[in-house]
Amino acid sequence: MRRFGIQGCVYPNENYVVRRTEEGAEFINRVKDGKYIVLFAPRQTGKTTFFRWALETKIWRGNKYYQAGKKQLAAYIAAEKATEGYYVVFDHRQAPEPRVETETLAGVTIRSYVIPVMQEVPSNTLHRKT
């Protein structure tokens, strides 16, 4: 039997949940446009749950790692008793290829976005030991 969550994270199989699909789409669009993301809301309205479900971010390291990341996210989402999540990969290659995919892995819906990043990769000169 479902009930209203009154503290901590919300679990869709145990609690009543209002899907934040619109906020998820807006989040992805803002990331694609290179904008900052701020999520303001009163306590117990799902901010932490949104980010817990919504997001796995990576930097493009090749298709092998891209596919492995989706499986990793699906396992995490299933363990958290959620049903969907977002996988955002930032691609710094010379000729990045944007991707938008939706697939089901192990009963979990994964919405994947590969976002081209058109800037130089930051140097490590400030982090070198002298």
Residue 27 lies in a domain: yes
Angle of helix 21-32 relative to helix 47-54, nearest 10 degrees, comes to: 60
Residue 72: DSSP 8-state: H
Residue 47 lies in a domain: yes
Copy the structure tokens of residue 105.
């892995």
Which residues partner with 109 through β-bridges? 84, 104
Total domains in the chain come to: 1
CA 8, 74, 63, 103: dihedral to nearest 10 degrees?
-120
pLDDT tens, residue by residue, 39-62: 777 777 777 766 666 577 788 999
- Per-residue pLDDT band for 117 (boundaries 50, 70, 90) equals confident
pLDDT of residue 56: 77
Range of the domain at 97: 21-121
pLDDT tens, residue by residue, 65-115: 999 999 988 888 887 777 888 888 989 888 888 899 999 998 989 989 898
Only one residue has tokens 């303001």, namely 40
pLDDT of residue 75: 87
CA nearest to 11, candidates 20, 2, 21: 2
Residue 38 lies in a domain: yes
Copy the structure tokens of residue 43.
């306590």
